[in-house]
């Protein structure tokens, strides 16, 4: 088969690789010419796709900026961003732009699949009419389906191949085409009644995480008041072999998905006069967590007789989660800004993030930075950092990830 992928980001590039590795020809289309140039030279910008993986696929994975290269594809999968606007409403401009361009080259018999996370109804009500501007009818002249991407960057125990794939087509024939397409790269494909169920299933997965993370973050704030170690409590509850699923507190939620996707559903719900409480409440608590953490650093400095103003504050880990370099919506950025506003001299160390243009900083060398700081805050706990060394080398350590559990030291404060 020849497959087109529109949007070669964290989702699109691993997908393109999966199809190419399965022996298919892949046309990878992206609007970012720097990404295309990098790929043409065999350089990947996605950590889960090392350069060495791209090298043997050169003949099968062709990066392009031209939509007409999609004409010869049997299937085209759309993986463009779905962010929020400034007023926290769905921003579908990337999707509508991609759809408009795709409509100009759409061919009878092609299968189009949307993978971008979005609210239920997007595929049928938004994407289909745009594609039909081609003069072709969705479900009759071309097939259309939604299939959510469930990738978790940095995770190695589950891959595109081993994570069951959900598909929902506009018609039964659309679903069957989508099922056959993904059966080429996934061990299990689950066909749903339509795109709406598939769109909402993805949102349920992410909102489930958002709500539970908010709940345990709120518990961490309460434990702080009560003087109880939240990590001991979570560890204890997690010994129950049934009826409990572990979520860890932290500095707040980041990434392209969890802080954003729930508001897609809240928007759709409001259109129907329904105001979902869980989503808004979880969003409120999770958004407030970085401010709570900045204040925790302020209190720790205060206990050491130091004001934030003029203190050297070292943030350890600035990506939104361990093992990856993605800083989108990272709580570390908010913590850094809040402490800077108070006059703190903020620096950072992150082996995955060499530069942080948002703050005008580069990653500092760990040992001298630990020796020079007034406080080191563990914001994202990359597994390659030695936290015993952190605890012994820094004068004061605030741990938002619980990785210093088991270390007893007077200079150590945990969330």
Ligand X SMILES: NC(=O)c1ccc[n+]([C@@H]2O[C@H](COP(=O)([O-])OP(=O)(O)OC[C@H]3O[C@@H](n4cnc5c(N)ncnc54)[C@H](O)[C@@H]3O)[C@@H](O)[C@H]2O)c1
Phi, psi of 101, deg, nearest 5: -70, -40
Dihedral, CA of residue 189, residue 195, residue 198 and residue 202, to nearest 10: 130
Which CB atom, from 6 or from 377, has the smaller least distance to ligand X? 6
> Shortest distance, CB of residue 287 to ligand X, whole angstroms?
18
**DSSP string computed for 183-215:** HTT-S-EEE-SSHHHHHHHHHHHHHHHHHHHHH
Which residue is at the shortest CB distance from ligand X? Answer: 9
**Which residues lie near ligand X (CB under 6 A)?**
6-12, 29-32, 35, 79-82, 94, 97-98, 116-117, 149, 151, 153, 256-257
CA gap 404, 25 in Å, rounded: 48
Which CB atom, from 15 or from 285, has the smaller least distance to ligand X? 15
Which CB atom, from 43 or from 405, has the smaller least distance to ligand X? 43
Point out the catalytic residue in the list 73, 174, 223, 257: 257
Phi, psi of 354, deg, nearest 5: -65, -35
3, 114, 398 from 300: Cα distances, Å:
55, 47, 7
Which CB atom, from 114 or from 223, has the smaller least distance to ligand X? 114
* Residue pointed to by tokens 């072999």: 241
Q: Indicate if 257 belongs to the active site.
A: yes
**DSSP string computed for 106-117:** --TT-EEEE-S-
Please report how the helices 331-341 and 277-303 are oriented relative to each other, as an axis angle in degrees rounded to 10. Answer: 50
Cβ neighbour number for residue 157 with a 10 Å cutoff: 7
Which CB atom, from 35 or from 126, has the smaller least distance to ligand X? 35
The answer to whether residues 111 and 39 touch, using CB atoms and an 8 Å cutoff, is no
Which CB atom, from 7 or from 195, has the smaller least distance to ligand X? 7
> Shortest distance, CB of residue 260 to ligand X, whole angstroms?
7
> HSE of 309 in the Cβ direction (CA atoms, 13 Å)?
1
Tokens of 119: 């609210």
Tokens of 193: 């009644």
CA gap 184, 235 in Å, rounded: 41
The answer to whether residues 291 and 341 touch, using CB atoms and an 8 Å cutoff, is no
Tell me the sheet residues that pair with 356. Answer: 361
At 287, which helix (H) or strand (E)? helix 277-303
Tokens of 141: 């002249």
Which CB atom, from 223 or from 257, has the smaller least distance to ligand X? 257
CA gap 31, 257 in Å, rounded: 21
Dihedral sign of CA atoms 372, 374, 380, 386 in order: positive
The angle formed by the CA atoms of residues 359, 362 and 363, to the nearest 5 degrees, is: 115
The angle formed by the CA atoms of residues 275, 199 and 154, to the nearest 5 degrees, is: 105
Query: Which residues are catalytic, by number?
Result: 257
């Amino acid at each position: 088969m020849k497959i087109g992928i529109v949007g070669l980001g964290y989702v699109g590039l691993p997908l393109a690789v999966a199809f190419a590795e399965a022996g298919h020809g892949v046309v990878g289309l992206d609007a970012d010419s720097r990404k295309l140039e990098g790929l043409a030279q065999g350089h990947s910008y996605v950590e889960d796709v090392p350069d060495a993986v791209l090298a043997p696929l050169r003949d099968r994975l062709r990066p392009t900026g031209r939509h007409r290269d999609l004409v010869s594809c049997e299937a085209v999968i759309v993986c463009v961003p779905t962010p929020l606007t400034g007023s926290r409403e769905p921003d579908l401009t990337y999707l509508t732009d991609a759809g408009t361009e795709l409509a100009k080259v759409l061919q009878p018999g092609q299968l189009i699949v949307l993978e971008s996370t979005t609210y239920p109804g997007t595929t049928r009500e938004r994407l289909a009419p745009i594609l039909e501007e081609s003069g072709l009818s969705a479900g009759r002249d071309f097939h259309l389906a939604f299939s959510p991407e469930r990738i978790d960057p940095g995770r190695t125990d589950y891959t595109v191949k081993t994570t069951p794939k959900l598909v929902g087509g506009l018609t039964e024939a659309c679903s069957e085409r989508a099922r056959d397409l993904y059966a080429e790269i996934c061990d299990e494909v689950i066909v749903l009644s339509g795109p709406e169920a598939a769109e909402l299933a993805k949102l349920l997965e992410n909102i489930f995480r958002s709500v539970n993370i908010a709940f345990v973050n709120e518990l961490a704030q309460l434990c702080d008041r009560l003087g109880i170690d939240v990590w001991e409590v979570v560890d204890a509850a997690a010994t129950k072999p049934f009826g409990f699923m572990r979520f860890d507190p932290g500095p707040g939620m980041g990434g392209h998905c969890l802080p954003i996707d729930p508001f897609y559903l809240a928007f759709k719900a409001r259109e129907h006069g329904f105001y979902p409480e869980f989503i808004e409440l979880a969003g409120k608590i999770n958004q407030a967590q970085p401010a709570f953490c900045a204040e925790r650093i302020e209190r720790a400095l205060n206990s050491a007789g130091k004001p934030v103003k003029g203190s050297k504050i070292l943030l350890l880990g600035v990506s939104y989660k361990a093992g990856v370099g993605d800083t989108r919506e990272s709580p570390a950025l908010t913590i850094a800004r809040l402490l800077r506003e108070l006059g703190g001299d903020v620096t950072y160390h992150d082996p995955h993030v060499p530069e942080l243009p948002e703050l005008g900083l580069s990653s500092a060398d760990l040992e001298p930075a630990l020796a020079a700081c007034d406080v080191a805050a563990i914001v994202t706990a990359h597994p390659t950092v030695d936290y015993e060394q952190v605890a012994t080398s820094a004068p004061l350590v605030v741990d938002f990830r619980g990785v210093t559990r088991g270390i007893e030291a007077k200079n150590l404060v945990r969330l």
